[in-house]
Amino acid sequence: MTPMCGELAGFLRHSNPAFRITGQHGLRALKQHSSQEVAAAVAKQLPILEEQVSTITETLEKSAAAKTMEVAEVNVKKRCVLDTLAQFKELSAPHGRAIAECLSDPDRIVRGAAIRALIESGPAVVPHALKPLRKRLEHDDPNVRRSAVDCLRGLAPLHLAVAGASGRTLQEGGAAATRAAEGEKLDRAVLDAQKQALLVLGGAGKHAKNFLPDIARELENPDFQVRRGALECLVDLKEHAASAAMEIAKRLLHADPVVRRTAVETLGRMAVHGADVMDRVKGLARDEKDEDVLTAIKVAMGAAKAQ
């Protein structure tokens, strides 16, 4: 790493915002000549800033208010570093692990900046960031878990491995649900993992194709939130879910009226992408006795006519 790279990257940690802006301008100019070195120098600032936060929080002499102010100042510098990495796009990909570590930050804006930096890094970041991102799906802080989901959802259409990992989680949850139907207790953590997987797959586009039957199966899940997650996932996939319409239509004959209603609502909200099986929805109305299902059919058919 050239001394110039390190010096300019260090400007991103300066207390004066004018120096930080100068550092960003200089680094952008320098990356035309030493792109990988510049990105590495910028990424190196993240652990330095994290160490500063640790030092502040562990200091006993300062008040809580003083610590909060100092940590906030460091977070401004973190966001500057992450914004710079986002501007470097694919050059930042090798530093995906260091960026992903920032998703554990208590500061919401820092987490948002880390998400942007990872997504802007493109598909090349996935081999470096996928494991630490998935680790944060199990974090104690629900805000960190949600940030990890949002980031994975943004990366899912860029790299098949992201959708693949979430699809396997969904399949494992489905197997656990089958065992639960046979009397085994279903762990709440399994249901939470399924909801996360459905959120990620809803943004995966064509990469969700191999898991469409698994998503449709979750329309039968006894947990309301998982069922709704499957519905929203299929709706979000739009044309990429069209081939699942027949799989969803199978649930129109389910013994549970809740499942029938969910299947009807899903097909109705899929609009033109579920049009091929809307005649089955219409046919269901002839023999259906459940009022909620009949109402869902009416709404779905009205939406179909409006297309």
Q: Where are the chain's structural domains? A: 1-155
CA distances (Å), origin 232, targets 199, 236, 244, 259: 8, 6, 14, 15
Q: Are 5 and 34 in contact (CB under 8 A)?
A: yes
Tokens of 12: 């991103």
Q: Are 226 and 193 in contact (CB under 8 A)?
A: no
Q: What angle do CA 116, 102, 24 make, to 5 degrees?
A: 60
Sign of CA dihedral 200, 206, 208, 214: positive
User: What residue has token string 């792109």?
Assistant: 35
Sequence-ordered list of residues with C-beta below 8 angstroms from that of 279, at least 6 positions apart, any chain: none
Q: Is 169 exposed, middle or buried (0-12, 13-18, 19+ CB in 10 A)?
A: buried
Q: What is the pLDDT of residues 16-38, one digit of tens each?
A: 999 999 999 999 988 887 789 99
- The pTM of the full predicted model, rounded to 2 decimals, is 0.92
> What is the C-alpha separation between 80 and 17, in angstroms, rounded?
9
Residue 112: the pLDDT is: 98
Residue 61: the pLDDT is: 82
> What is the C-alpha separation between 176 and 190, in angstroms, rounded?
8
Q: What is the pLDDT of residues 80-130, one digit of tens each?
A: 999 999 999 999 999 999 999 999 999 999 999 999 999 999 999 999 999
pLDDT string in tens for the chain (307-residue length): 577 888 999 999 999 999 999 999 999 988 887 789 999 999 999 999 999 999 999 887 889 999 999 999 999 999 999 999 999 999 999 999 999 999 999 999 999 999 999 999 999 999 999 999 999 999 999 999 999 999 999 999 999 999 999 999 999 987 766 655 555 666 788 999 999 999 999 999 999 999 999 999 999 998 899 999 999 999 999 999 999 999 999 999 999 999 999 999 999 999 888 888 999 999 998 989 999 999 999 999 887 776 6
Give the CB-side neighbour count of residue 108, counting CA atoms within 13 A. 3
Q: What type of residue is 40?
A: A
> What is the C-alpha separation between 35 and 114, in angstroms, rounded?
20
CA distances (Å), origin 99, targets 14, 47, 75, 86, 95: 20, 10, 14, 10, 6
Q: Are 66 and 80 in contact (CB under 8 A)?
A: no
Q: Are 155 and 125 in contact (CB under 8 A)?
A: yes
DSSP state of 99: H
